[in-house]
Amino acid sequence: MSLSIRKNDTVLVITGKEKGKKGRVISVDPTRNKILIERINLIKRHTKPSKKYAQGGIIEKEAPLHISNVMMICSKCGKPTRLGNTVLSDGKKARVCKKCKEVIE
């Protein structure tokens, strides 16, 4: 299954405790329909000392959000929008902003 939101897109959280916040997508998990957004939906993780975390202790990290809880922000018009698909003249598929009808790279 392909998702319309990809890594490094800017998104707006539209529901939940983080509603109204904007952030950059860090990773997308299409099998679970989840995304990680930079500095959004932070959780505290109690971690034992290890090679990765020599100190251990309480570490803050992002938790995944369901993809339906976010909306893409168009890079051209700057508004939250749904995405459409179109076929360009050279035969490639592209994502299109439903509000300003501009192609999103």
pLDDT at res. 57: 95
Q: Is the pLDDT of residue 3 over 90?
A: no
Same domain for 85 and 68? no
Question: pLDDT tens-digit profile of 57-84?
Answer: 999 999 999 999 999 999 999 999 999 9
Please give the residue range of the domain that contains residue 69: 1-73
46 and 19 share a domain?
yes
* Res 105 pLDDT > 90: no
pLDDT digits (tens, 9 = 90+) for 27-60: 999 999 999 999 999 999 999 999 998 999 999 9
The CATH number for 59's domain is 2.30.30.30
* CA dist list (Å): 105 to 22, 31, 38, 62, 90: 19, 24, 21, 26, 15
Q: Looking at residue 7, what is its pLDDT?
A: 97
Q: How far is CA 13 from CA 8, 18, 84, in A?
A: 15, 6, 19
Distance of CA 70 to the CA centre of its chain: 7
Q: Does residue 1 surpass a pLDDT of 60?
A: no
